[in-house]
């Protein structure tokens, strides 16, 4: 059920870091409620794109979010020293110092399928996968309509990765979220994304993964990194 107005419209976006152009002439529209994956080689401008979308760095062009839209951001990892003597409860409280309640903390944990008793655990005592879920809970406290994930499973083992992506999918359905995520895993892109943006400084392709991820486009995007071709061929045979 698409709205006529996209939740995000990007026109002629250019981002330079120093003298280097990192994102070039990018046009993009994201519809409400969609899951969009951003793929591309390392250094292709994916995280830079996110930072521009969040208004964290200067850019040229237009980034137009729907007015008053609430955006949540989940970074690759918790940028907090794990020996900091903070409990999970105290960490979540940092997100909502004014309106924080015990009920909200419990609800946030429940929404990311973690047990309440974890609230009393120190951040350094819990697993990497649990910490990633806590970051998602932190983002959800702001009641976002859009969630941006920067490689949410970068440090997590395979089984943990699977459960994080299932969680993202579950949250998208439950809260009717629009999801934009950076991923290196084509299995994830095929299973969870309705659209994929292939980015290598410029937009190489955009559309449903089954339609746009041809071997030719992958060659253009990655320049002959064969691991992606094996992924692609196995998907196409299915």
Domain count, the chain: 2
Which pLDDT belongs to residue 81?
Answer: 67
Q: Supply the pLDDT for residue 225.
A: 53
pLDDT for 224 equals: 62
Alpha carbons 10 and 13: distance in angstroms, whole number: 7
pLDDT value at residue 153: 75
8 A C-beta contact, residue 129 and residue 160: yes
Total-model pTM: 0.87
The number of beta carbons lying within 10 Å of the beta carbon of residue 58 is: 10
Look at residue 225 and tell me if it is in a domain: no
- Contact call for residues 148 and 73 (beta carbons, < 8 A): yes
203 contact partners, CB below 8 Å, separation of at least 6? 25, 26, 27, 28, 197
Which residue ranges of the chain lie beneath pLDDT 70? 1-4, 79-82, 97, 224-238
CATH for 170:
3.40.50.300
Structural domain boundaries enclosing 114: 80-143
Q: In the prediction, which pLDDT does 186 show?
A: 87
99/116 same-domain check: yes
């Amino acid at each position: 059920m698409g709205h006529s107005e996209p939740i995000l419209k990007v026109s002629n976006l250019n981002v330079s870091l120093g003298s280097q152009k990192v994102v070039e002439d990018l046009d993009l529209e994201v519809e409400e409620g969609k899951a969009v994956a951003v793929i591309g080689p390392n250094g292709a401008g994916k995280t830079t794109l996110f930072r521009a979308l969040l208004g964290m760095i200067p850019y040229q062009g237009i980034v137009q979010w729907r007015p008053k839209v609430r955006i949540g951001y989940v970074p690759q990892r918790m940028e907090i020293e794990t020996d900091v003597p903070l409990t999970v409860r105290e960490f979540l409280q940092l997100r909502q110092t004014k309106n924080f309640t015990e009920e909200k903390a419990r609800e946030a944990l429940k929404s990311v399928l973690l047990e309440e008793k974890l609230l009393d655990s120190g951040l350094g005592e819990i697993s990497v996968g649990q910490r990633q879920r806590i970051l998602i809970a932190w983002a959800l406290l702001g009641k976002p309509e859009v969630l941006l994930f920067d490689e949410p499973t970068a440090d997590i083992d395979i089984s943990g990765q699977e459960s994080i992506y299932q969680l993202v999918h579950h949250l998208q359905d439950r809260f009717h979220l629009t999801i934009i995520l950076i991923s290196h895993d084509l299995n994830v892109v095929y299973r969870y994304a309705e659209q994929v943006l292939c980015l290598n400084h410029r937009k190489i392709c955009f559309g449903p993964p089954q339609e746009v991820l041809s071997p030719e486009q992958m060659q253009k995007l990655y320049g002959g990194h064969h691991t992606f071709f094996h992924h692609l061929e196995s998907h196409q045979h299915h």
